[in-house]
Amino acid sequence: MRDFKELCAYLKEEIATKEDGSVKLSTLINRVLAKERYHYVFWFRIAQYLHNKPRGFWNYKKWAKRINRKLIREHNIDIGLSAQIGPGICFSHRIGIVITHRAIIGRNLRLRQNTTIGSKDYTQGHVRLGDNVEIGANVCIVGEINIGNNVTIGAQAFVNKDIPDNTVYYTEYRPTYRTKPK
């Protein structure tokens, strides 16, 4: 997030926009106070904005890290503040979600519980996800990979290679049965 206008645009799109497209400050406040999903997104976007703001009289990164640590404790979601996430992020179940600070994610990401989006190396490589990506429960995405637009990743999938646009990806599970030795 580069500036305050972009922060406001993200918050309008993710929280305050009604079905008819209108935006009200009272709608934003009511949704943030009433629903945990909006509470997390609101404060994460504020922390992300402060993290990217240059240091001035106040140490903004320090405040951003404090907000993020509190969000991790309250919501069990750990997203790196340097992650570039487009507007429209949605958590179906907010438990056990981890996203690396090296992630570059497009618009309208849908996540379910126990999802990890990480990189092999802490300092190199990016995980890139396109627009309109939907990720099922217990998914692990690891490595320097690119996931295209309009991709659906099924539950319990392990992703370590690129996925092209307009794809449904899942890990096939074939149980093997063996008889016990006598």
Question: In angstroms, rounded to a whole number, what is the distance separating the alpha carbons of residues 142 and 159?
Answer: 6
What are 108-116's contacts with CB under 8 Å, separation 24+?
108/132, 108/133, 109/85, 109/133, 109/135, 110/134, 110/135, 111/135, 112/136, 112/137, 112/139, 112/155, 113/137, 113/138, 114/138, 114/139, 115/139, 115/140, 115/141, 116/140, 116/141, 116/142
Collect contacts of 159-162 with beta carbons under 8 A, ≥24 apart. none
The residues that bridge with 112 in the sheet, in sequence order, are: none
Report pLDDT for 66.
96
Domain end marker among 57, 75, 93? 75
Specify whether 70 is located in the same domain as 105: no
Residues 5 and 87 in one domain: no
pLDDT of residue 19: 62
What CATH number is given to the structural domain containing 125?
2.160.10.10
Residue 181 belongs to some domain of the structure: no
Which pLDDT belongs to residue 178? 61
What is the structure's pLDDT at 152? 95
Same domain, 69 and 87: no
H or E element, residue 62: helix 60-75
* Predicted confidence pLDDT, tens digits, the chain (182 residues): 678 899 888 888 888 766 666 677 787 788 888 888 888 999 999 999 999 988 778 889 999 999 999 999 999 999 999 999 999 898 888 889 999 999 999 999 999 999 999 987 766 788 999 999 999 999 999 999 999 999 999 999 999 999 999 999 988 776 666 666 66
Residue 91 shares a structural domain with residue 58: no
> Do residues 127 and 143 touch, judged by C-beta distance below 8 A?
yes
Q: The domain containing residue 104 runs over which residues?
A: 76-171
State whether 61 and 96 are in the same domain.
no
Amino acid at site 38: Y
pLDDT at position 12 is 84
The count of residues in the chain is 182
Is 28 inside any structural domain? yes
pLDDT score at 93: 85
The residue among 32, 47, 106 whose CA lies nearest residue 78 is 47
- Give me the number of domains the chain comprises: 2
Q: Tokens 């009272």, residue? A: 26
> Are 158 and 86 in a shared domain?
yes
Q: Reduce the secondary structure of 21-49 to three states and give it as a string.
A: CCECHHHHHHHHHHCHHHHHHHHHHHHHH
Query: CA-to-CA distance for 66 and 60, rounded, in angstroms?
Result: 10
